[in-house]
Every structure is written in C-alpha cells, then in structure tokens.
Amino acid sequence: MSLANPGYSRRVEEVKNAILHELASTRETYLTITDTILRIDDLWKEILKDDFVLSFRNSLELKAYNNMERKYQALAWKLEKFVSEFGLLQEKGEFLYCINEQDLANAVPRIMKLLSKFQSRLKMLSDESIDRSKADIMKTKEEIRIEKLKISEQKRHEMEINELAHQLAFEMRGQKPSDDVLKDKFEHMRKS
C-alpha cells in the first residue's frame, strides 16, 4: 500500500474547511449542535472513504430509531414491573384466603389461570396498539402524498396560468383594451 499523498491530504483538509466555513457563514440551520456534528462527521467519513453517497438521512433515521427504542424500553420496563406487582398481589390475595395445605395447592392453578388471562389481554391490547400505529403511519403517508400531489398540481396550474397570461400580454402589447375586451379574452382563454 502506498503512502498518502500530502498534497491530497492538504486538499481534502481545505475542502473540509471550506465546507465547514460555508455551513457556518451562510446556512441558517435549525439543527442542534449534536445533529450538526453528526452530519459533519458523516460527511467527513464519506469524504475519507471517497464514497460520496452520503448518509445524512441514515443518521437521522438512526436517531429517530434510538429515541423510539429508548421509549419502548422504558414502557417495557414499566409493563414488566406492573405485571410483576400485579402477579404478586394476586398471589398474596389468593394465598391469604387459604386455610390449609390443600387450599394452597388449589390456589396455584387459579393464580396461573388469572395470569394467563391477564397475559392474553395484554397481548390483545399490544396487537391492537400495533395495528393502530400501522394504520396511523399509512394514514400519515397518504396525507403527505396527497399534500405533495396538491402542491404539484397547484404549481402546474400556476405555470399554465402564467403561460396564458404571458400569451395574452404578448397579443395585447401596445394596446389599451377596455374591461369588456379583457373579460372576453379571459373567458375565451378559460374555456379553451
């Protein structure tokens, strides 16, 4: 493997500094320092690898995933704690009413049955929650798709109107038409 070319290294450092200077001086950003550092780090890694397929989006997706994972772990811990406490309360409640050994032995299947029912209900609630989340995601995707379609159509219509207005202005150059003539021309263009 050959040694690194000092001219290349110096040029890469100049590019890095130019990028950082450009970002710092001209671009208004709403990113946090951490987000900016992550993006610059991603860019720098890609430049060093000579692989200019940048992964800005990947760092944002990773941050979103990590936030979601943290929330999931917190909720899972709360659920686990709740289930444990619930089971303990059920066990104590069942065992307190037991008078002899036989009652204690009979209480265990009842407790297991209660916990099994509770587990089934939690599973059902979890599945419903996941289904609702998936539906919400698809609904949001569709709303954004429709919004983008509306914006695209609006831009297309604006371009058509501007083109028609340009044509009308070209046709009527040097004239001072009356309001009635303008209305007639407008109606004719609108209908065609």
Contact 111, 90 (CB under 8 A): yes
In the chain, where are the structural domains located?
1-54
Distance, CA of 120 to CA of 35 (rounded, Å): 42
What pLDDT score was predicted for residue 6? 66
Among 13-22, 41-50, 135-144, where is mean pLDDT lowest?
A: 41-50
Average pLDDT over residues 161-173: 80
Query: Which residue type occupies 29?
Result: T
Contact 92, 112 (CB under 8 A): no
Distance, CA of 14 to CA of 77 (rounded, Å): 49
What pLDDT score was predicted for residue 172? 76
Torsional sign, CA 86, 87, 90, 92: negative
pTM: 0.45
pLDDT tens across 44-79, in order? 777 666 544 445 456 667 777 788 888 888 988 888
